[in-house]
Amino acid sequence: MTDPLWPDYATPADLAFIESIPLAQRGLPDSTYALLARAAMLWPDRTAVTVLPDAARWEEPTHRTFGELLADVHRTANMLRDIGVGRNDAVALISPNCDGLITATLAAQLAGVAAPINGALSVDHIMELIKKSGARVLIAASPKLDEASWNMAHQLVNAGVVDTALFLGPTGEIPTAKKYDGSAFSGELPTAADVAALFHTGGTTGAPKLAAHTHANEVADAWMIAANSILDEDATIFAALPLFHVNALVVTLLSPLFRGQHVVWAGPLGYRDPAIYANFWKMVQRYSITSMSAVPTIYSVLAQCPVDADISSLQFALVGASALPVSVRREFESHTGIRLVEGYGLTEATCASARSFPDAPRPGSVGQRLPYQQVKTVRIDDGGGWHDLPAGEVGHLVISGPTVFPGYVTACGSDGFVFDDQGKLVEGWLDTGDLAWIDSDGFIHLTGRAKDLIIRGGHNIDPATVEDALLRHPDVTGAAAVGRPDAHAGEVPIAYVSLAPGSTATGDKLRAWASEHVADKAAAPKSVTVVDALPITAVGKPYKLPLRADAARIAAADALAGHTGIESIAAAVEDGSAVVTVTLTPSADRQAVENTLGRYSITSRLEDAS
C-alpha cells in the first residue's frame, strides 16, 4: 500500500492525483513539535544538523542527531515555561544563525510563539515589532557570537521593552537550559490551530507588519516541499539564509524533518560571508550537498567562482525571492552543470506556493502551484471588488488553501493576539500584491508588483516590460525599473542595471537597446544608470525604494537646474517613502523653488544651509 504521506510527485501531471486524496487524510503531524518528535522517533541516531562556525572554518563543524536536537529543544522549552512563557506568549529572537538559534526557534514554538527578528533593523523598528508581538522574553546572541545583537538586547532591556533577556553562549546553548529535563516537555503541547510564529514582512523601512503562522500553516507548507520525489532521506540540504526569514525556517529546517534529511548550516553570516565563496564548492564535496536554496545575486557570484571540487552530488539549486535574469541562469548552469529550479512564495502564505520541475522546465514561469493551494488572477475595480480572470490573462495573483496566514498581529492583549488582514484577505483568498498570469496547468508567470506600476499620463506600465528588455542584453545581470516624477506625465520610466564583470556597456547604449527591445514603446526608459549592485533586502529580495528616492532626486535636480541658491539636493527613504531634501543658500528664492517642485509628485523639504 502506498504511504499516504508520500505520493509520487516528480512531474506536473502528478498534481491532480495527489489532490484526489484530501489533505486531512495525509496524516500530517499536528505541530512543528510533533514533526520534530516524529523525526527523533524514526531516526534518533541520524545526524540532523551540521553547523559550521563560519565559512573560514568550514571543516570544524558541530553535529547533532535528531534525538539530541529533540532533547535540547525539550530543555530550552522547559526553561522558557519555567520563566513564564505560555502557549500564546511570544519569544523574540535576535541572533545570526548558529546551533543554538535552531534549538531556540523550535523551543519557542513548543513553549509559546517564536518571533524571529532581523537584528540589522533600526532599534525603533525592532521595538515596534516586539511591542506588537507582546514578547517580554528575548533570546539573543552573546557578544562572542555577535556583539551587535548583544548591544541591541541591552538597549531593549534598558528601555523596558522586554523583561528577560537570555543569551546564546559561545557554543550555541543557553547555559541555564542545561539543568532542565530533556526527556519531555512539561507544559501544554501546541495544537494545529495555535500560532507558531510571527514573521515580520517588508523591507527595512516603513510600518512594521507581523504575519502570523499557525502550526498547521507551517507543517502543511513544509510537507508540500518535502513531498518532492526527487529528494529522498539520503539528501543533504545546504542552509545559509537567516532564520528570521521564512525560507530558512520552512525550506531548510522544518521540511527536512519530514524525511530525516541532513541539513548543513553555514556560519552566522551565511551567504554574506565573503569566505563562503572561496570554499563553497569544497563544502559541496565535503558534505555531499544535494540541494541548496538562494537568491539570484548569490548564483551570479557563484558563477564566477572556479569549480575546484567534485560537485556531482548537487542535483539542483533552488532560486527565488526575485526574478531570475536569463544571463544569471545561463552563466551559472554553463559554469557548473547544475540546474537552477525556480520557486515562488511569500510570508503571508507561510513560505512556498509554487515549484518548478528540473526535468520539465516551463520557461518564464516560477513554477506550478503546490498541492492543495489554489491560485487565480483577479481584476480589482476602483471600489475594491474582485473579478475572476480566465487563464492566460494578467491580473492580481491571489492564493487560497491551508498555508494562507490568519492575518497580521497588530497587538497582543489579555485575550491573546489581535489580528488584522489589512485588506489582504477576501473570503479566504490572499492578495499577493503580484501581477501574473496562470496557464492551464497551474504554472504561474509573474509580470511584476502591482504597487510598482509606473503610471505615465494615465498609461499603466509594468516595470517588468522594461526589466525584461534589459535582461535580454548579454551583459546585464540585474535590472530594476522605477518611475521618475515628471511635471507633464506624472512619471516616466527609468532603469538601473548591474553588469557582468568586464562589461563595457554604458547607460546610453543600454537605453538604446531597451528602446529597441521593449514591447510597449511608452515603456522605453528615459535613462539607464549602471550601478555596482542593485539594492536588496537582508534576504535578497529587490528593494526599489532607494531607487525611487534616487529617481526623485534626479527629477528635482533637473527641475531646479535653472534656479540659483541651490547648495545641494539629496534623497533618502524615510518611513517607507522617498523624500528629497533641498538645501538653500540665502540667495535662493524659496517660494520659486516650492512652486517648481509643486509641479511634481515629489515629497520634499527645504532646509537652509548652515
Q: Which of 168, 15, 38, 162 is nearest to 89 (CA)?
A: 162
Domain assignment present for residue 11? The answer is no
pLDDT for the residue 538 = 64
Residues 167 and 76 grouped into a single domain: yes
Domain assignment present for residue 15? The answer is no
Domain assignment present for residue 7? The answer is no
For residue 261, the domain's CATH number is 3.40.50.12780
Residues 131 and 143 grouped into a single domain: yes
Residues 531 and 591 grouped into a single domain: no
- Radius of gyration of the chain, Cα coordinates, nearest whole angstrom: 25
* Cα(372)–Cα(398) distance, integer angstroms: 14
Domain assignment present for residue 8? The answer is no
Domain that holds residue 94: 25-446
* Cα(12)–Cα(168) distance, integer angstroms: 44
Residues 327 and 302 grouped into a single domain: yes
Element (H, E) at 35: helix 32-42
| 588: helix, strand or coil | coil
Total structural domains in the chain? 3
Residues 469 and 550 grouped into a single domain: no
Residues 128 and 218 grouped into a single domain: yes
Q: Per-residue DSSP letters for 491-557?
A: EEEEEEEEE-TT----HHHHHHHHHHH-SSGGGS-S-EEE-SS--B-TTS-B--HHHHHHHHHHHHH
Residues 242 and 227 grouped into a single domain: yes
Task: Look up residue 163 and give its DSSP letter.
Answer: S
pLDDT for the residue 476 = 93
pLDDT for the residue 205 = 40
Domain assignment present for residue 429? The answer is yes
pLDDT for the residue 203 = 42
Q: Which of 501, 366, 517, 370 is nearest to 434 (CA)?
A: 366
Q: What are 232-255's pLDDT values in tens digits?
A: 899 999 999 889 989 999 999 999
CA angle 467, 471, 472 (to 5 degrees): 125
C-alpha cell at 402: 491551508
* AA letter at 192: A
Cβ atoms of 555 and 337 closer than 8 Å: no
In the predicted model, residues of the chain with pLDDT beneath 70 are: 1-2, 170-172, 202-208, 321-323, 325, 449-451, 457-460, 519-520, 538-540, 575-577
Last residue of one domain, picked from the residues 446, 479, 507: 446
Cβ atoms of 592 and 604 closer than 8 Å: no
Domain assignment present for residue 287? The answer is yes
* Cα(274)–Cα(294) distance, integer angstroms: 15
Domain assignment present for residue 148? The answer is yes
Domain assignment present for residue 310? The answer is yes
Q: What are 535-564's pLDDT values in tens digits?
A: 887 666 778 889 989 999 999 999 999 899
* Cα(393)–Cα(257) distance, integer angstroms: 38
Residues 496 and 483 grouped into a single domain: yes
| 9: helix, strand or coil | coil
Residues 146 and 127 grouped into a single domain: yes
pLDDT for the residue 461 = 78
Torsion of CA 30, 33, 37, 43, to 10 degrees: 100
